[in-house]
């Protein structure tokens, strides 16, 4: 019983550090690229990609480290842009 009570704060602290690291990287390392498939209103819906500055999506160890959070953010943003 004692081990379970110590595990939650450690996991929660690790998650907080991970999310703070992503927030820092999102401000200083990554940026959003907007992509439209055709003429506005006539093509496929808008898609936003989060990439490392001056690189294509998927390059760099930072991108791979934060991939789960990046995909979640891209999904949320694309959902609201294409309502």
CA atoms within 13 A on the CB side of 51: 13
Task: Confirm whether pTM is higher than 0.85.
Answer: no
Written as one string, the DSSP assignment of 12-78 is: HHHHHHHHHHHHHHHHHTEEEEEE-SSSTTTSSPPEEEEEETTS-TT-SHHHHHTHHHHHHHHHHHH
pLDDT of residue 6: 84
pLDDT for 10-19, tens place per residue? 999 999 999 9
Q: How many domains does the chain have?
A: 1
The residue with greater pLDDT, 53 or 40, is 53
Q: Which helix (H) or strand (E) holds 1?
A: none
Print the domain residue range for 21: 2-81
């Amino acid at each position: 019983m004692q081990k379970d009570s110590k595990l939650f704060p450690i996991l929660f602290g690790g998650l907080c550090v991970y999310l703070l690291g992503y927030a820092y990287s999102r401000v200083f390392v990554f940026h959003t690229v907007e992509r439209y498939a055709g003429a506005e209103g006539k093509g496929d819906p808008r898609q936003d990609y989060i990439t490392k500055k001056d690189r294509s999506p998927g390059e760099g160890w930072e991108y791979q480290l934060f991939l789960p959070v990046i995909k979640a953010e891209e999904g949320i943003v694309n959902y609201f842009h294409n309502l």
